[in-house]
Structure 1
Amino acid sequence: MTTEAASVECTVAEGIATIILNRPDARNGMNQEVADALYDIAIRLTHDKSVRAVLIEGRGPVFSVGGDVGVFASTAVEALPETLSRMAARYHDALGRFARLEVPVVCAVHGAVAGGALGLLYISDIVIASEKTKFALGFGSIGLTGDGGTSWFLPRLIGVRRAAELYFEDRVLDATEAAEWGLITRVVSAEDLTVNAASIARRLASGPTRAYGTMRTLFRRSATAERDAHLAEETAAVGRIAGTIDATRAFRSFVTKQAPEFEGR
């Protein structure tokens, strides 16, 4: 599958869906077109059984500055609430669907990641950043409360106090700080970013897809689940996945000291 839009590109090859934000002249600022494109892509990937991993990138000098403030500033005051609400709703629907995908998601970021664009990091399992990347919310500086799931995801990722610091003090993190705080997974050189992220996506795409999908589901539900109920769900999941072809073959490979070959089923 290959899809192309003015704002977002998506290709699927060898089990990997590669999504590229494609508004480099606008620093990949997010508008209604981006939100709609991401939602459409998330819907298609939900139903594409050939996809075993997702890789998200941004074209141009930065990953994304978040919402396209130029669009907001040029919108009539009386139309702005509806414009922002409609865009945020569609973007949040897209993020929710990406979070529920039953395949691992990798995100490679560079330059800058700001505002609502952080939502794409939140729904990713592995986030790789080039060493000079900057991270910021910046909502207060434009008089907004924020979007991209930030008020839900960020305290869970980095803690309430640090999240408040980013919100209220407009703190800017460098890549090393972002890794230390738990916002991203690791930092690599700019030269290695694309190759490193692609390598991770390929490795995940060749892994036990159904097990990975169940891991994602358990992680997602753990934030609000009651402990004993969650342990019961974990018990049911491990029993269910133990019956998959991949698990059966992996058990045998372990005994024979061979590397398992997973088919994603």
Structure 2
Amino acid sequence: MFQGEETIVAEGPVLLTYGEGIANIQLNRPDAGNGFNIELMRALQDVTMRVHGDRRVRAVILSGNGKLFCAGGDVKEFAAKGAGLPDYLRMATAYLQVCVSGLVNLEVPVIAKVHGCATGGAGMGLVCCSDLVICGKSARFMAGATRVGMAPDAGATALLSKIVGFRRAMELVLTNRFVEAAEAERIGLVNRVVPDAELDAEVLALARQMAAGAPRSQGATKRLMWNGIGRGFEASLPDEAREVSALSGTADALEGLAAVIAKRAPQFRGE
């Protein structure tokens, strides 16, 4: 576990702090609504790679600094590129794909803490690629891409329909209407809505719960769940059997069984 809290990236478009086995990844372009540009995407990729393979990390909290979680792409910067925008976006979307793929492939649970708005390809994409999503009561969500003549990215075209259903996903990406927090919870876009003033505490409590879990078990479960999104039921069975068999020989599995029998809380070490 971490001793205290260590700031890894003190300045820049993405901040990373460690504490209590939790990596806090925070988008840090508040003046631009945490809108994505290439610099932010590069920083997010770097921070995600730092977290990968760090066995001290048991959970990740993904958040935004300032008034918004993420306003999507930086529209003003995009517009300023003029005729060079297609080349810029080719590079930007390549970075974005690496970022969301990196978050999905982290071996630990990623919890999105959403306040303000999560809009556009990047904002909705980060919500869709997180394992768990908690939002404040005033949070709002919008797809937004077709509003500026573009198409959804960050994996949203594949994931959003899996999360909320095909017809509703099609409506959201074509109409670009705002989804209020209560509806987001009802349709399954988020796991839970909490009062704005309680958002930090609720997310930290959930992250602590995840950090106390068996890391290899949670990593395998997360991997199976994400792999299962695009596969049929029967195709997932061999992978499940292989992971369960491998996990059953770990110290954490034996500790979990012993804890249940002894009616005590397990002490998982990830060994």
Shorter chain as normaliser: what TM range? over 0.9
1:223 aligns with 2:229: yes
Which of 113, 122, 137 in structure 1 is aligned with 2:128?
Answer: 122
Q: TM-score, normalised by structure 2?
A: 0.94
CA 1:34 to 1:247, structure 2 compared with 1: closer, same or farther past 3 Å?
A: same
Which of 112, 117, 135 in structure 1 is aligned with 2:117?
Answer: 112
Q: Distance in 1 between matches of 2:173 and 2:232?
A: 29
Judge conservation of contact 1:127–1:184 (CA < 8 Å) in 2: yes
Paired residues, what number?
A: 264
Partner SS, residue 107 of structure 1:
strand
Partner SS, residue 63 of structure 2:
strand
Partner SS, residue 161 of structure 1:
helix
The corresponding residue for 1:34 is 40
Partner SS, residue 173 of structure 2:
helix
The corresponding residue for 1:93 is 98
Shift of 1:263: 1.3
Partner SS, residue 47 of structure 1:
coil
Judge conservation of contact 1:206–1:264 (CA < 8 Å) in 2: no
Q: TM-score, normalised by structure 1?
A: 0.96
**Cα deviation digits, residues 37-58 of structure 1 (max 9, x gap):** 1111111111212111100111
**Cα deviation digits, residues 164-219 of structure 1 (max 9, x gap):** 11111112100010111111111000100011101111111111111000011101
Give the residue type in structure 2 aligned to 1:52: R
The corresponding residue for 1:15 is 21
Give the residue type in structure 2 aligned to 1:114: T
The corresponding residue for 1:25 is 31
CA 1:146 to 1:226, structure 2 compared with 1: closer, same or farther past 3 Å?
A: closer
**Consecutive aligned runs of 4 or more in structure 1 exceeding 6 Å deviation:** none
The corresponding residue for 2:3 is none
Give the residue type in structure 2 aligned to 1:198: L
The corresponding residue for 1:72 is 78
Structure 1 residues without counterparts, runs of 5 or longer: none
Q: How does 1:151-170 map to 2 (within 5 A)?
A: 151-170=157-176
The corresponding residue for 1:138 is 144
Shift of 1:264: 2.3
Give the residue type in structure 2 aligned to 1:95: V
Shift of 1:236: 1.4
Q: Distance in 2 between matches of 1:264 and 1:178?
A: 34
Structure 2 residues without counterparts, runs of 5 or longer: 1-5
Judge conservation of contact 2:14–2:47 (CA < 8 Å) in 1: no
Shift of 1:9: 0.2
Judge conservation of contact 1:65–1:117 (CA < 8 Å) in 2: yes
**Cα deviation digits, residues 115-158 of structure 1 (max 9, x gap):** 12122112211100000111001111111112121111111111
**Cα deviation digits, residues 39-83 of structure 1 (max 9, x gap):** 111111112121111001111111111100010111122x10011
